[in-house]
Amino acid sequence: MISPKARFRLRSTLAAAGTAVLLGLVALPAPLVAQEGAAAVQDVTVTDVVLPLGGTLLKAPKLTASGTRLSKEDLAAILRPDSAVPWNERLARLDAASLTVPVLTSENAGPGENRQTVTYRDVVARDVRAGRVGELTAAGATVNVVAGPNGGSGTYGQVRATDLDLAALSRLYTTPGDGKGPVQRVYGTIQVADVVYADARGTTVKIASLSGRDLGGRQIPDGWNGAFAIVAGGFQDGADRRAFAAAAADLIAATTLGSLELQGLSVSDADPKGPLLFEIRRIAYASAGPEAGTRLEDLALSRGGLRTQLGRLTLTGASLAPTVAALQGIAAEPAAGTGFSDAEMRRLTPQIGNLTLNDLAIELPPEATPERTPHRDGRIPARGTGSETARLNAGKPADPKGVEPRTGDPLAVTVTPQPGSRIVLREASLAFGPPTDGVPSNSRLTLSGLSLPADLLAGQPIVGMLPAYGYRNVDFDVVADLAVDGKARDLLVRDITISGREIGTVRLSGTLGGIGPELLSGTLPAATLLMFSGSAKSLDLTVENAGLFERFLAAQAKDLSLRPDELRKEYVTASLLGIPIILGNGPAAKAIGAAMGQFVMKPGKLVLHAMAKEPAGIGFIDLGAARSPALVLDRLDVDARAN
């Protein structure tokens, strides 16, 4: 795969298709050998153009200005890199029908042994007036990257930009500002075609086309060049994080982009473990309007026998405002410091907004399908020489080594793995509210139309028994809705619902107390802190049967050689008498037992509501240390009913 340094180089080469060409035109330097004297409209050619620009060296063996009234002295003065006149003022005097550069090379060195060279062909700027370019094109480019022991090479197809403002570009990069001025648009549109990059490790990236619109920004205190240098230096040991934070915040807040679209992205990897191919038909970003947000369409991933497809991924409502605010807070600190704490990293998290996935399908290879079916108690049976079976030994302790199948066992359930199993998800959505100290104030997860083979649930708690009850495929809908009350230090479980077709529905809600930011401090494991600080205040549980109970009863009756009606009566008796005894035989225990008895007799809906009598709730440590259920139930107001 591509190393982090190589990935950084790749991203920079993608951007270079637009920016390096533009910077090359901004900064064509001395020495200049002028040809032809200037009188009126004429063509002027200069050669051996070399310009150091920070860590980048730009070279143009020849540049021709056509249809210009500039003399050679005028052009030399405009392009002189050591001139005392600001670049934007000189570029405002640049006028020509066209500027032509047959070959433009950008060489970038560092960090360390890293080197990057981009060579553009047939660069032409047309209708150059007062430092503005009507159209800028390049026939293509080649890229060569050396990243320590690794490297890579690539090519670009045609590059085209319109409405390019060289003077604005120069002001942004070189002239300081307060970060509050007007947005200066650098270009109207830009398109790059046929990008191909391959590294030495066998990873190839291809992009059919890349286009953007309305890129610009504001002037910032260090200038963009200075800010980029500060951010790059901030990753070094001992660097003052205040300067890094200030420059990063300035760059994020100052950059504007109207829209960006990428089509035909593919990443292939010749991994010895199996070739990998990842493809996205379209990636689109828009800052405003009905299409605001980021969209990825028609994603596909294949590796060996695994095939994954995703119709669409959409992200809306995302914002970097919390990140900028956190960086500005760090930059305003009175004392120098290095690095970031876990709490600060959380505050740097952007607002995610709403994430939606549509039409996910995963084709599993045959070897991924479980060869063994779990028992109804969730245990995995031992491997046999013939077909695998699952059974439940009623009243017998589970054998940790597994249970060998026995010929003639009336409860044996034979499951043959099906090749080419599919996992399908119609829609998934994840919504986050505005964050506080990096923690969303509320969040909601919705899964609709989740379908998968029941065998894949083997060994999982509770649902691992579904194959043994005759389910071959299961369909679920899931909702999880949570909110945080920072003042009350409560976690509000507003709704957790799991619904299974021909299975049933479980719905849970409640309130947990003692939930504060210290759980995310990282100083102690969250589970340890939660045990000492957390408490249970309320719980609402609803169970609705849609066929699972009948399958369970039939399987158990077969196991015990009873008729289902006979076994049902035994369970009713156990609920009415056994459960109250187990729970302490108090009023709450009897209410729970009676409700469960009614549910077993007529399995429809079971509702349980419990609320702590103390306003602070019952501490988790108290729940764990309670010697009997009765001691817990005595501290609760309980309401239980069925149907």
Which pLDDT tens digit goes with each residue over 631-641? 999 999 999 99
Residue 296 clears pLDDT 90, i.e. is over it: yes
Given this model, what pLDDT does residue 340 score?
85
The amino acid at residue 133 is V
Closest CA to 511 of 421, 611, 413, 586: 611
Highest mean pLDDT among 107-111, 413-417, 465-469: 465-469
Residue 291 clears pLDDT 60, i.e. is over it: yes
With a CB cutoff of 8 Å and minimum separation 6, the contacts of 622 are none
Give the whole-angstrom CA distance, residue 49 versus residue 542: 77
Given this model, what pLDDT does residue 495 score?
97
DSSP assignments along 97-163, one per residue? EEEEEEEEEEEEE-STT-EEEEEEEEEEEEEEETTEEEEEEESEEEEEEEETTEEEEEEE--EEEEE
* Res. 83 pLDDT band, cuts 50 70 90: confident
Structure tokens at 273: 């473990």
Coil/strand/helix, residue 243? helix
Of 106-120, 132-146, 362-376, 545-559, the range with the lowest mean pLDDT is 362-376
Residue 7 clears pLDDT 50, i.e. is over it: no
pLDDT tens digits for 419-458?
Answer: 558 999 999 999 999 888 778 889 999 999 999 999 888 8
Give the whole-angstrom CA distance, residue 127 versus residue 162: 10
Contact 516, 487 (CB under 8 A): no
3-state SS of 553-576? Answer: HHHHHHHHCCCHHHHHHHHHHHHH
Give the whole-angstrom CA distance, residue 518 versus residue 486: 12
Q: Which residue has the tokens 């609709």?
A: 448
- Cα 4 to chain center, whole Å? 18
Q: What is the pTM of this model?
A: 0.79
Highest mean pLDDT among 104-108, 148-152, 339-343, 570-574: 570-574
Would you state the torsion angle of the CA atoms of residues 431, 437, 441, 443, taken in this order, to the nearest 10 degrees? 30
Given this model, what pLDDT does residue 371 score?
45
Give the whole-angstrom CA distance, residue 404 versus residue 387: 11
Residue 368 clears pLDDT 90, i.e. is over it: no
Q: Which has more pLDDT, 587 or 530?
A: 587
* Res. 29 pLDDT band, cuts 50 70 90: very low
* Res. 374 pLDDT band, cuts 50 70 90: very low
Highest mean pLDDT among 366-380, 405-419, 442-456: 442-456
The amino acid at residue 32 is L
Residue 12 clears pLDDT 70, i.e. is over it: no
Alpha helices in 436-542 (DSSP H): 526-533
The amino acid at residue 63 is L
Give the whole-angstrom CA distance, residue 318 versus residue 440: 12
Are β-strands 140-147 and 150-156 bridged in parallel, bridged antiparallel, or unpaired?
Answer: antiparallel
Residue 410 clears pLDDT 60, i.e. is over it: no
Of 102-111, 267-276, 372-381, the range with the lowest mean pLDDT is 372-381
Q: Which residue has the tokens 């022991």?
A: 149
Residue 404 clears pLDDT 60, i.e. is over it: no
Q: How many of the other CB atoms lie within 10 Å of CB of 540?
A: 17
* Res. 365 pLDDT band, cuts 50 70 90: confident
Sketch the domain layout of the chain as residue ranges.
4-270+319-351, 486-642
The region, left, alpha or beta by phi > 0 then psi within -120 to 50, assigned to residue 572 is alpha
CA distances from 418 to 2, 370, 464 (A): 36, 9, 18
Closest CA to 49 of 29, 75, 23, 65: 29
With a CB cutoff of 8 Å and minimum separation 6, the contacts of 440 are 352, 432, 433, 434, 484
Given this model, what pLDDT does residue 631 score?
92
Structure tokens at 628: 């009997």
* Res. 590 pLDDT band, cuts 50 70 90: very high
Contact 107, 130 (CB under 8 A): no
Q: Which has more pLDDT, 281 or 521?
A: 281
* Res. 521 pLDDT band, cuts 50 70 90: low
With a CB cutoff of 8 Å and minimum separation 6, the contacts of 533 are 514, 515, 516, 518, 519
* Averaged pLDDT for residues 227-240: 82
* Averaged pLDDT for residues 168-186: 90
* Averaged pLDDT for residues 268-287: 90
Given this model, what pLDDT does residue 356 score?
97
| Burial call 378-402: b when 16+ CB within 10 Å, e when fewer | bbbbeeeeeebbbbbeeeeeeeeee
* Res. 54 pLDDT band, cuts 50 70 90: low
Given this model, what pLDDT does residue 321 score?
93
Structure tokens at 2: 């591509």
CA distances from 267 to 144, 360, 576, 595 (A): 18, 20, 62, 58
Q: Which has more pLDDT, 41 or 507?
A: 507
CA distances from 463 to 288, 390, 458, 459, 504 (A): 44, 14, 8, 8, 12
pLDDT tens digits for 113-169?
Answer: 778 899 999 999 999 998 899 999 999 999 999 876 778 999 999 999 999 998 888
Q: Which has more pLDDT, 29 or 204?
A: 204
Given this model, what pLDDT does residue 87 score?
73
* Averaged pLDDT for residues 385-390: 36
